Amino acid sequence: MPELPEVETVLRSIAPQVVGRTIHRAEFYSKRVTRGGLTQTSRAIAGAVILAARRRGKQILIELDSGVLYVHLGMTGKLLWNQQATKYTRAIFQLENGTLLYDDTRQFGRVEFFKKVPDALDRVGPDALSVGFEEFYGRLRQHRTKIKPLLLNQSFISGVGNIYADELLFAARIHPRAVASRISRTRAEKIYESLGAVLQAAIEHRGSSISDYVDGSGEKGSFQTLHNVYGREGEPCPRCGTAIRRIVLGQRGTHYCPHCQRA
């Protein structure tokens, strides 16, 4: 569910409620999600003041006066403000003004407390919305991988997931199997422009709700209605009418128009 636009939307819906507030009490229920230890983590967080909530790629960093709460939503993670707890609630934060929940069915996500951000988390590439063209192009030339899997590699740039990789390659008219290092500067410019444009448009529409994604208030996004290729196998390309094709690349479903996106 959560790629950069969804994470950004969640953050925007949560931050105004929680920044500046004190966490009176925190409880953790999943050893998978909270690997630092459930009771130790509760103790470390109780009484902390939330100073800021920010994002890098898909990572959420909630800065506390005592450290940082790292949240990664994985595939099915949700941060919810003043919502009903479920059997998938993996953490509860009681603030002075309400309750923040972390829900996660598949438990691929993480909620961890650190005194300071570990180096390993710092190794993600530049944020997909902040990276400049020259850096993007320079990095692109260093990889002989296919462009689609490269866009999903968070140490290349961070924030792009499976939906937006397919959508931005369609917008740029680039075949998902194109070899990154062999892409011309002109075509790289198209990819770079599409990257920014698609992510910005998705944020404006509050993300894509394709299965059960919701923001911090429990509201769905609407960008899924504007997808051109993702999840549209067999449907006509909006640009030329050719049937959208689905292949598997790097173990991920990949959707593209075989006519508009030439190899």
Partner DNA sequence: TCAAATGTTTGATC
Partner DNA sequence: GGATCAAACATTTG
- Which residues are identified as catalytic? 2-3, 58, 252
Q: Which is nearer to DNA, 145 or 222 (CB)?
A: 145
Q: Is 72 in the site for DNA (CB under 7 A)?
A: yes
Q: Is 161 in the site for DNA (CB under 7 A)?
A: yes
Out of 107, 127, 133, 247, point to the residue binding DNA (CB under 7 A).
107
Q: Is 139 in the site for DNA (CB under 7 A)?
A: no
* Smallest distance from DNA to CB 212, Å: 6
Q: Is 146 in the site for DNA (CB under 7 A)?
A: yes
Q: Which is nearer to DNA, 76 or 261 (CB)?
A: 76
* Smallest distance from DNA to CB 205, Å: 13
Instruction: Go through the chain and tell me how many residues it has.
Output: 263
Q: Is 222 in the site for DNA (CB under 7 A)?
A: no
Q: Is 163 in the site for DNA (CB under 7 A)?
A: yes
Site string for DNA, 165-204 (x = CB under 7 A): ----------------------------------------
Q: Which is nearer to DNA, 97 or 181 (CB)?
A: 181
28-37 burial by CB neighbour count: b if 16+ within 10 A, else e?
bebeebbeee
Q: Is 105 in the site for DNA (CB under 7 A)?
A: yes
* Smallest distance from DNA to CB 176, Å: 12
Please, where are the H alpha helices in 68-128?
Answer: 119-122
CA-only gyration radius of the chain, Å: 19
* DSSP single-letter state for residue 6: H
Q: Is 152 in the site for DNA (CB under 7 A)?
A: yes
Identity of residue 244: I
Taken in order 55, 58, 59, 62, the sign of the CA dihedral is: positive
Decide if 168 contacts 160 (C-beta within 8 A). yes
Cβ-in-10-Å burial (0-12, 13-18, 19+) of 175 comes to middle
Q: Is 89 in the site for DNA (CB under 7 A)?
A: no
Decide if 215 contacts 1 (C-beta within 8 A). no
Out of 39, 186, 211, 225, point to the residue binding DNA (CB under 7 A).
211
Q: Which three-class secondary structure string do you get for 11-63? A: HHHHHHHHCCCEEEEEEECCCCCCCCCHHHHHHHHCCCEEEEEEEECCEEEEE
List residues near DNA by CB under 7 A: 1-3, 6, 32, 57-58, 72, 74-75, 105-108, 120, 142-146, 149, 152, 154, 161-163, 208, 210-213, 250-253
